Amino acid sequence: MSNVSASSSVVRPARLRGGFWLVVMGAALWGVDPLFRIILLKSLTSSQIVLLEHVVLFLAAFPVLWRHRAELKAIRFRQAGALLIVSWGGSAVATILFTMALSSGDLNAVLLLQKLQPLFAIGLAALLLKERLPKHFAPLMIVALAGTYLLTFGWSIPFGHVNSFISISSVMALGAAALWGGSTVMGRYLLGSMKYETVTSLRFILALPLLFVVTALERAPWQFQGGIGATSAVAINLLLQALLPGLLSMLLYYKGLSTTKASFATLAELSFPMTGVVINWVVFNQLVTLPQIIGFALIWTALFFISNQQSRQQSLG
């Protein structure tokens, strides 16, 4: 009996820590999205890209959902509401709001306001999931957010006037941050009673009807320029975008989230901007600056200590 207990005490923290780093890996994969989206934007609008991506994801996710269809019978009103927040809010509306904010407002102000997403997630996790934060969580969160700031803006102050923040684009950026934070919390709630494969499948499938409506209302023509070669390039990039930063990333994310508190997971998602910087450096030849290197170090330091704190806190609890 004592050997079993000792073994459990060793394995469980390792499993919890592994879940945290799965969230880090899943979020990091989101950063490769521009590699495929740049080519797609030459032929399609943003809503068309998201719609086609979800069609591919539907084809991949439906067999998985069918295998786990018995879980659908246990869905109640609260879970249905959480699923709509995750699929419509996190997958569709938040992306649309953020894109509109970028196209109509001050870029730096929008990016800075989006960095408030962890605060929304942590607040909602405490309110809805009754999550208690560990003792040194606040300083680590400040370190992680400071690192993200340096990755995005360097040493510069990203706004010149308070009016940059008082605009409709700022409201849309805050709305996107709130929806993404809420999606993290609702995803964690759903994983209390559903398998991560089911949650991932429903996220993609339920978003599809809304995306059909949004694309139809946009009334943009469907056009592919450049002949068969260009059409093939679009198809290949669409498939890769759907399967890598789409399906694979969310499977890793939700598997990790099943053993990770939402308040911890939202900071693990800060691996996303780090991947973006690496992609810009390796693929687009944008040199990494000293502030970005410091930002990298701050984020990874915070993630390491947060991972240790989560496994220590939950193994004791």
Confidence of residue 154 (pLDDT cuts 50, 70, 90): confident
Region 31-42 average pLDDT? 78
**CA angle (256 as vertex; 252, 260 as ends), nearest 5:** 155
Region 6-19 average pLDDT? 55
Confidence of residue 23 (pLDDT cuts 50, 70, 90): very high
Cβ atoms of 51 and 211 within 8 Å: the answer is yes
State residue 26's pLDDT score: 93
Least confident of 22-31, 223-232, 279-288, 304-313: 223-232
State residue 159's pLDDT score: 58
Confidence of residue 143 (pLDDT cuts 50, 70, 90): very high
Q: What is the mean pLDDT of the chain?
A: 83
User: Does residue 139 surpass a pLDDT of 70?
Assistant: yes
Indicate whether this model's pTM tops 0.85.
no
State residue 280's pLDDT score: 77
